[in-house]
Amino acid sequence: MKALFDRLLRMFAAAALLVLPLASGCEDDGGGGGGDVGDNNPELVACIGDSLTQGYKCEGAPYPSRIAAKTGKTVLNFGVAGATSAYGASIISSVVARKPGYVCILFGSNDAIMSRGPEHAAANIRAIIQVCKDHSCVPIVGTPPKMIGGHASFDPAAAAIAAAIKAVAKEMGVACVDFYSAFGDGVEFLNPDDGLHLSDAGGEKIASGFASKL
Q: Write out pLDDT tens, residues 154-182.
A: 999 999 999 999 999 999 999 999 999 99
For residue 119, is pLDDT > 80?
Answer: yes
Please give the average per-residue pLDDT across 127-136, as a whole number.
98
Which residues are CB-contacts of 48 (< 8 A; sequence separation ≥ 6)? Answer: 78, 79, 88, 91, 92, 95, 103, 104, 105, 106, 107, 128
CA-CA distance, 31 to 176, in Å (whole number)? 10
Say what the pTM is. Answer: 0.85
- Work out the number of other CB atoms within 10 angstroms of the CB of residue 41: 15
For residue 1, is pLDDT > 70?
Answer: no
The β-bridge relationship of strands 100-106 and 138-142 is: parallel
User: Hey, where are the domains in the chain?
Assistant: 24-211
Query: Distances from the Cα of 214 to the Cαs of 34, 78, 103, 140, in angstroms?
Result: 7, 18, 10, 8
Please give the average per-residue pLDDT across 71-89, as a whole number.
98
In the CATH scheme, what is the code of domain 24-211? Answer: 3.40.50.1110
Q: What pLDDT, on the 0 to 100 scale, is given for residue 197?
A: 97
Q: What pLDDT, on the 0 to 100 scale, is given for residue 36?
A: 86
- The answer to whether 129 and 179 are in contact (CB under 8 A) is no
